[in-house]
Amino acid sequence: MGHRFELPQEATVGVTPEEVWDAIATGPGIDSWYMGRTEVTEGAVRTDFGGFLPDSAVTVSDPPHRFAHASATEDDGRFVAYEFLIEGRERGSTVVRMVTSGFLPGDDWESEYEAMRSGLAMFFATLVEYLGHFHGRTATPVSAFGPPVRDWPDAWSTLHTELGLRPGGDVVGERVAFTPDGLPPVEGVVYFANAQTLGVRAPGALYRFIQGMPGFMIASHHLFTDVAPQGPAWQAWLDRIFSERTSP
């Protein structure tokens, strides 16, 4: 049967429309809040996230007001489209609206839709956090994928404990303090959390943990300081934390 969807999100940020445009319509800008590494050309937006290579055709580019791109429609009707609307307000503030729409095929679209809805909420919250605390700076994205998880409530409880958070309940605004294996200590605050994601803002980074499909924890971070590559260290950290909670 399938499901057609539209997910609008909106926020007011304390930067100019031009600064919002740089964040949503350039490769270095998108690298600083979305996922993986992105290249923006005159006609396409191409992202590389752990070997997953979505490609979207640019359909509207009207700086600094509107930017839109969409994937090709597959034989089963699947597609995803993104539209950003930017409106300047007084005192240097800007309203940014992101609308994600598309179609998910099949009778089992619900779990994919929920994962997409949760992930998009995290990505948009990260965009707002980036514009509020790191705008004008370019991040180095870090991605790592943990082992398969068989019990997600237990996995999230384990992650919360590892980060120094109380398992369960609303953790937004809570302080975080932990030391990943082989990396400097992390101290920050939870800026966003829902049933499938958690984001932490630190002085020089945005750290994110995402419940990936079909079933593994993803670390998808943005580092705003010059540091050595951290992907292998985060991979080892995820492997250690979830090694006893993997599928048989």
For residue 248, pLDDT beyond 70: no
Q: What is the DSSP string of 169-201?
A: S--TT-EEEE--TTS--EEEEEEEEETTEEEEE
pLDDT in tens, 106-131: 988 999 999 999 999 999 999 999 99
> Do the first three CATH levels of 3-133 and 140-245 match, i.e. the same topology?
yes
In eight-state DSSP terms, residue 62 is E
pLDDT in tens, 146-184: 999 999 999 999 999 999 998 878 999 999 999 998 899
Confidence tier at 244 by pLDDT (50, 70, 90): low
How would CATH label the architecture of 140-245?
A: 2-Layer Sandwich (3.30)
Ordered by start, the domain boundaries in the chain are 3-133, 140-245
Looking at every residue in the chain, the average pLDDT score rounds to: 93
Q: If you classify domain 3-133 with CATH, what class do you get?
A: alpha beta
pLDDT in tens, 202-243: 999 999 999 997 789 999 999 999 888 899 999 999 999 998
The rounded distance, in Å, linking the Cα atoms of 178 and 209 is 14
Taken in order 133, 137, 141, 142, the sign of the CA dihedral is negative
Q: Rounded mean pLDDT of 175-194?
A: 95
Note the pLDDT of residue 52: 76
* Residues near 120 by beta carbon (within 8 Å), at least 6 away in sequence: 7, 9, 98, 100
